[in-house]
């Protein structure tokens, strides 16, 4: 479903139409199968928080967005595509790595990386391209150092990760990209298994704590390494680029943040709510008959709980289509809800807070180097964003 011309930050207008119609709406997917779309905040949160809806793509009738997404999701699952209790058992193996205390210890290194990228921008001179000169190098370096991925391999996984999340393409493209990533992490994990004490990083600790004792198989460790890299840089990089645009298109909010640094945490939450960059998420299938706020979903029916629509619901947020950093919307659903709430959100918040706590102080005259209409947005990607972001100062 396309976004409206001239409104690149808003969800597709059809989502608003569906929400205003009241209750879920039945649509037909690319493969001819019917599916329920939930778009109100109350309904979306109810679906996401109800474990009677399964996240397992192998369940017969599970809703798929496209043949390309189907090709990727039919692979062996990670914990984000598992139901309790298996989901919880695997997720707990990673929970301590994303505890706020551990992530807070990374903040000085994150800020140092940011400052070095600012220095490179200044050395290169105006204009610069924000996505490839700043956002992707930052997020890929952070997640690489965290996991223990060699620096020389970052361009490879950036490109393969980009291809893996394409939706409106030949299914062979994301399938091949996924296979290349799995092959890469298979080799990386084998190297760490040979000498798990060589480095103190997440994957080495995973080998020591989970693989060697037999709690996690090598193949499962490989798939979860792939998941963490995908989730750990692509989404945050797109959020950095869109967040920069949010402020440039709303100079009053930029001035407000510069004058009130205490608004930073709330500003990041507003950015997350406003952009809600995962375009079609909340795919579920009912394991039994489930009533959602008065609407009956029958066993075996597929649903999408659309977070980007829910985060623009006027029943939950006053003036939802306005970017307002004083809102501090800590109840938004950008990181999902329930047992599948994003495990890596402390790291994403740390990166976003570090960037937007310093970007406009370092470059107070930052501006778009091209008209907004000239930007190409990622309509055909699972994760929304902008392809390139030329900036000047």
For 367-392, the pLDDT digits (tens) are: 999 999 999 998 777 789 999 999 99
Residue 74: what pLDDT? 67
CA 316, distance to chain mean position in Å, is: 22
Q: Is residue 306 part of a domain?
A: yes
Instruction: Of 62-76, 331-345, 355-369, give the lowest mean pLDDT range.
Output: 62-76
Residue 1 predicted with pLDDT over 70? no
Q: What percent of the chain has pLDDT over 90?
A: 81
Residue 232 predicted with pLDDT over 90? no
263-304 pLDDT tens trace: 999 999 999 999 999 877 899 999 999 999 999 999 999 999
Q: Number of structural domains, the chain?
A: 1
Residue 225: what pLDDT? 94
* Residues in a beta bridge with 291: 296
Residue 71 predicted with pLDDT over 70? no
Give the DSSP per-residue string, 100-165.
HHHHHHHHHHHHHHHHHHHHHHHHH-SSEEHIIIIIHHHHHHHHHHHHT--GGGHHHHHHHHHHHT
Residue 170: pLDDT band (50, 70, 90) is: confident
Instruction: Of 3-17, 117-131, 291-305, give the lowest mean pLDDT range.
Output: 3-17
Q: What is the mean pLDDT of the chain?
A: 93
Across the range 76-97, mean pLDDT stands at 93
Residue 70 predicted with pLDDT over 70? no
Closest among 371, 270, 365 to 319, alpha carbons compared: 270
Residue 383: what pLDDT? 86
CA distances from 157 to 90, 163, 229, 389 (A): 24, 10, 8, 21
- CATH number of the domain where residue 238 is located: 1.10.630.10
Q: Is residue 7 part of a domain?
A: no
Does residue 113 contact residue 142 with C-beta atoms inside 8 Å? yes
Q: Is residue 172 part of a domain?
A: yes
Residue 12 predicted with pLDDT over 80? yes
Q: Is residue 141 part of a domain?
A: yes
Instruction: Of 43-47, 62-66, 241-245, 256-260, give the lowest mean pLDDT range.
Output: 62-66
- Residue 74 vs residue 245, higher pLDDT: 245
Residue 227 predicted with pLDDT over 70? yes
Q: Is residue 8 part of a domain?
A: no
* Residues in a beta bridge with 38: 305
Q: Is residue 183 part of a domain?
A: yes
**Range(s) of the domain holding residue 57:** 13-392
CA distance 361 to 300: 53
Residue 136: pLDDT band (50, 70, 90) is: very high
Q: Is residue 291 part of a domain?
A: yes
Residue 278: what pLDDT? 87
Longest dimension (CA), the chain: 61
Across the range 212-232, mean pLDDT stands at 93
Place of tokens 């329920």: 36
């Amino acid at each position: 479903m396309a976004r409206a011309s001239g409104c690149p930050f808003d969800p597709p207008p059809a989502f608003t139409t569906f929400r205003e119609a009241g209750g879920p709406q039945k649509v037909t997917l690319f493969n001819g199968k019917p599916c329920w779309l939930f778009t109100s905040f109350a309904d979306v949160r109810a679906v996401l928080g109800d474990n009677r809806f399964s996240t397992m793509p192998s369940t017969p009738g599970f809703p798929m967005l496209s043949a390309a997404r189907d090709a990727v999701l039919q692979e062996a699952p990670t914990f984000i595509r598992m139901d309790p209790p298996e989901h919880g058992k695997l997720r707990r193996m990673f929970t301590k790595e994303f505890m706020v205390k551990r992530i807070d210890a990374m903040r000085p290194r994150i800020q140092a990386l940011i400052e070095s990228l600012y220095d490179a921008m200044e050395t290169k001179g105006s204009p610069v391209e924000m996505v490839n000169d700043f956002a992707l190098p930052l997020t890929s370096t952070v997640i690489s150092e965290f996991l223990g991925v060699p620096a020389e391999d970052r361009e490879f996984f950036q490109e393969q990760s980009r291809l893996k999340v394409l939706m409106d393409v030949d299914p062979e493209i994301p399938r091949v990209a996924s296979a290349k990533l799995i092959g890469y992490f298979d080799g990386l994990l084998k190297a760490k298994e040979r000498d798990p004490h060589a480095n103190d990083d997440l994957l080495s600790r995973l080998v020591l704590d989970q693989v060697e004792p037999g709690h996690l198989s090598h193949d499962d460790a490989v798939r979860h390494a792939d998941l963490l890299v995908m989730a750990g840089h692509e989404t945050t990089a797109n959020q950095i680029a869109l967040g920069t645009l949010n402020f440039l298109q709303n100079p009053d909010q930029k001035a407000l943040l510069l004058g009130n640094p205490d608004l930073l945490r709330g500003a990041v939450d507003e950015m997350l709510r406003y952009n809600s960059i995962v375009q079609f998420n909340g795919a579920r299938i009912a394991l039994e008959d489930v009533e959602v706020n008065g609407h009956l979903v029958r066993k075996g029916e597929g649903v999408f709980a659309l977070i980007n629509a829910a985060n623009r619901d006027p029943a939950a947020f006053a003036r939802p289509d306005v970017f307002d950093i004083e809102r501090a919307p800590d109840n938004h659903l950008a990181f999902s809800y329930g047992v599948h709430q994003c495990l890596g959100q402390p790291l994403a918040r740390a990166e976003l807070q570090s960037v937007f706590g310093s970007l406009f102080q370092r470059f107070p005259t930052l501006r778009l180097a091209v008209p907004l209409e000239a930007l190409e947005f990622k309509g055909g990607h699972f994760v929304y964003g902008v392809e390139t972001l030329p900036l000047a100062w």
